[in-house]
A and B are shown apart, each in its own frame.
Chain A
Amino acid sequence: MPGTTTGLTTREWPLWSTLARLVVTDEAALDSAQAVVDDYLRRVDDAANRFRADSEISRLHAGGTVLGPMLRDLLEQALWAAELTDGDVDPTVGASLERLGYDRDLELVLDEGAPVRAVVHVLPRWGSVVLRGSLMWCPQGVRLDLGATAKAVAADRAAALVVEHTGSGVLVSLGGDIATAGPAPEGGWQVRVQGAPDDPPAQVALPAGAAIATSSTESRTWRQGGRRLHHILDPRTGEPAPTFWRSVTVAASTCLQANAVSTACIVRGARAVGWVERLGLPARFLRYDGQVLSTESWPTDKPAGAPR
């Protein structure tokens, strides 16, 4: 769906049960930029889509140990995020997600799955994954889920590739994980901040090259055994993180950093604000009672601009 906004050209299409959005500052670059993004996202999907039996990650789960360059990059970045967040964002939660019913594309997950049997088991952690060059080892039965970081990495990489191939300034949004690269439009990239449709919105201007991501306990939800579940797990319990924050938005120099920190904030709950202040990142926290908190470097909330 192409469109223009204040001289910018946009295109939007469905992707991974959400939407992808591409905005370029040079209208003539749109088709080339889309081709670059499409090609990159196809390779990400081939490597890391755990819902596809023919993906590389599925073959890895079946007993492989050798990773291609794409999956290795995505796993390296996921392990980096795990280290940064002290394990709050952990790529070894795949088995827990499957146990909770998130074992297929979200559009296909049952609205009301069967109750989950309580099973006492030891959870794997990211530190049990050994990655060296193109070789990987992990304890038997570990199921990787790169969903927490792969979209963000893909947004970063795709935006950089668009600039490399077209020279145009670009914004790539993959389900709300937003990366920018190249020259920004005058006044910066205007980004609406709204974790879920009913949430109070805000709007910020991103400088060139900045990224922003939001994690929400109101998106990617489903029901199982009478429980409402969301997709952000606490890796220590294998259960959805307690719903202290309704959503957390973080800006950073890469979308991976923004996404890793915003996701970890959901897991950390009340401890998150001080942690993000120490990291020095602009962040906005929305509580379930509607109260908005933000770090010092987050601009004062103003009403969002006209809906796009």
Chain B
Amino acid sequence: MDQRDRDLTTARGLRRALVATGVAGSLGFAALAAASTGTTGAVSGAAAARGSGLPARVGATGSGAGLLPGLTGDDGGQENGDDDGGGQTRPLRVRHQRPPAAVLPGPSLLPGSGPSQATTSGS
């Protein structure tokens, strides 16, 4: 286990890693802390930073234990662990870094002829 792995075994190390990789800024530490512990819904940045897991002030949209439907979570990415101020509830959103999944145009198949070179069977 290298230093980075060791860091990630502690809340402080995890938070440092999140900040270093920019995750904290876009997803929010609270949501990620909740995700890593299976906490339902979102918790406030301050609560997560303290490791208390107290209920959220930001919009908790969780619908079941251990679930974070739709990648909930944005506490504003406050590095100092403060929440996003004002106790306002707002939708949680993840910023996608890539376009939505979509298939490319399908190939034009022709009827087969002659010996086959492979078989597509159930996998």
Contacts A5-B115, A189-B118, A195-B122; A253 near B107 (Cβ below 8 A) = yes
Contact status B110-A204, CB under 8 Å:
yes
Contact status A130-B111, CB under 8 Å:
no
In whole angstroms, how far apart are the Cα atoms of A195 and B71 in the complex?
36
Contact status A279-B103, CB under 8 Å:
yes
A191 close to chain B: CB less than 8 A: yes
Contact status A219-B123, CB under 8 Å:
yes
In whole angstroms, how far apart are the Cα atoms of A124 and B32 in the complex?
16
B35 close to chain A: CB less than 8 A: yes
Of B66, B100, B117, B121, the contact of A10 (CB 8 Å cutoff):
B117
Contacts A5-B115, A139-B35, A305-B112; A251 near B107 (Cβ below 8 A) = yes
A141 close to chain B: CB less than 8 A: yes
Question: What residue of chain B has the Cβ atom nearest to residue A63's Cβ?
Answer: B9
Q: How large is the interface on B (under 10, 10 to 19, 20 to 34, 35 or more residues)?
A: 35 or more
Most buried by A among B38, B109, B111, B112: B112
Contact status A127-B122, CB under 8 Å:
no
Of A178, A220, A302, the contact of B112 (CB 8 Å cutoff):
A302
Contact with A along B21-42 (1 / 0, CB 8 A): 1110011000110011110000
Across-interface contacts of B115 in A (CB, < 8 A): 5-6, 190, 305-306, 308
A146 close to chain B: CB less than 8 A: no
| Closest-CB distance, A60 to chain B (whole angstroms) | 12
Of A219, A257, A304, the contact of B103 (CB 8 Å cutoff):
A257
Most buried by B among A139, A189, A190, A298: A139
Question: What residue of chain B has the Cβ atom nearest to residue A210's Cβ?
Answer: B107
In whole angstroms, how far apart are the Cα atoms of A21 and B118 in the complex?
7
Contact status A133-B106, CB under 8 Å:
no
Across-interface contacts of A252 in B (CB, < 8 A): 103-104, 106-107
Of A23, A81, A139, A217, the contact of B67 (CB 8 Å cutoff):
A139
A168 close to chain B: CB less than 8 A: no
Contact status B35-A137, CB under 8 Å:
yes
Contact status A297-B106, CB under 8 Å:
yes
Q: How large is the interface on A (under 10, 10 to 19, 20 to 34, 35 or more residues)?
A: 35 or more
Contact status B102-A187, CB under 8 Å:
no
In whole angstroms, how far apart are the Cα atoms of A139 and B115 in the complex?
49
| Closest-CB distance, B64 to chain A (whole angstroms) | 4
B8 close to chain A: CB less than 8 A: yes
In whole angstroms, how far apart are the Cα atoms of A300 and B112 in the complex?
10
Contact status A282-B111, CB under 8 Å:
no
Question: What residue of chain B has the Cβ atom nearest to residue A138's Cβ?
Answer: B35
Of A21, A196, A206, the contact of B122 (CB 8 Å cutoff):
A196
Across-interface contacts of A137 in B (CB, < 8 A): 32, 35-36
A247 close to chain B: CB less than 8 A: yes
Across-interface contacts of B105 in A (CB, < 8 A): 253, 280
Contact with B along A197-215 (1 / 0, CB 8 A): 0000011111101111111
Question: What residue of chain A has the Cβ atom nearest to residue B97's Cβ?
Answer: A132
| Closest-CB distance, A89 to chain B (whole angstroms) | 11
B88 close to chain A: CB less than 8 A: no
Of B8, B111, B121, the contact of A300 (CB 8 Å cutoff):
B111
Q: 3 nearest interchain CB pairs?
A: A216-B122, A203-B112, A219-B122
Q: Which residues of chain B have a CB within 8 Å of any CB of chain A?
A: 4-5, 8-9, 14, 17-18, 21-23, 26-27, 31-32, 35-38, 64-71, 100-123
A-B contact pairs, 10 of them (CB 8 A): A5-B115, A81-B101, A138-B36, A176-B123, A191-B119, A192-B116, A216-B121, A216-B123, A305-B114, A305-B116
